[in-house]
Amino acid sequence: MSISTISRGATLCLLLFTAPIALASDVDVKHFIEQAATVSATTTEAATLALRTSNSADIKDFAQRIIDDHPRGNADLQAFARERKLELPADQELQQRASAELKPLRGKDFDTRFAELQVRSFEQGLALFEQAAERGDDELQAFARAKLPVLKHQLQNARMLTRAHPAS
């Protein structure tokens, strides 16, 4: 599945992350790279929007950490993709998809939805990396395993946000 065939809605995009991988006997590296880039771009775009939109200090702190971590993680993914002679999808296209669900929201509604989307994104990103760590080739396994602790920590922090900003 190419990035261009993924639905424009951020929710659908996030729901599709692991479906093709779960059916494969081995993890396809190109698909993994596309999906990892999608996770990175969508979480970063949502975080950028949170910095502009939210009035909650904890939401803004979380968003800033995501933005601060993005260049390092993206550089690692780009280097891995280059080693495999693959290219990452363009961030701009992915970012436009990411914020569609959040843009119309404000206040508590924004904070609640942002936290929920971050949890879902990190859960699916973690599942993607766990599958790669278990079923990828040796290089992909090593790459994915190195990223798992950060993803687990970010997921834990996102879950704390959902407790602080529950749905009504």
Per-residue pLDDT of the chain (168 residues; tens, 9 = 90+): 333 333 334 333 443 343 444 444 488 999 999 899 888 888 888 999 999 999 999 999 999 999 998 888 889 999 999 999 998 777 666 566 666 666 767 878 889 999 998 999 999 999 999 999 999 999 999 999 999 999 999 999 999 999 999 987
What per-residue confidence (pLDDT) applies to 23? 41
What per-residue confidence (pLDDT) applies to 69? 87
- Asked if residue 69 is part of any domain, the answer here is yes
What per-residue confidence (pLDDT) applies to 55? 92
**Total domains, the chain:** 1
- Asked if residue 110 is part of any domain, the answer here is yes
Whichever domain contains 69, its CATH number is 1.20.1260.10
pTM summary value: 0.77
Measured between alpha carbons, how far is 67 from 40 in angstroms, rounded to an integer? 10
Give the range of the structural domain holding residue 152, as residue numbers without chain letter.
25-164
- Rg of the chain (C-alpha set): 15
What per-residue confidence (pLDDT) applies to 110? 87
- Asked if residue 6 is part of any domain, the answer here is no
Tokens 């920590």 belong to residue: 153
What per-residue confidence (pLDDT) applies to 92? 61
- Asked if residue 19 is part of any domain, the answer here is no
Which tokens go with 47?
A: 């975080």
Measured between alpha carbons, how far is 151 from 62 in angstroms, rounded to an integer? 13
What helix, strand, coil percent values describe the chain, rounded to 5? Answer: 75, 0, 25
- Asked if residue 87 is part of any domain, the answer here is yes
What per-residue confidence (pLDDT) applies to 71? 84
What per-residue confidence (pLDDT) applies to 148? 96
113, with CB counted inside 10 A (0-12, 13-18, 19+), is middle
- Asked if residue 1 is part of any domain, the answer here is no
What residue type is 146 in one-letter code? A
- Asked if residue 86 is part of any domain, the answer here is yes
Q: Show Cβ contacts of residue 67 under 8 Å, excluding neighbours closer than 6 positions.
A: 44, 47, 48, 51
- Asked if residue 11 is part of any domain, the answer here is no
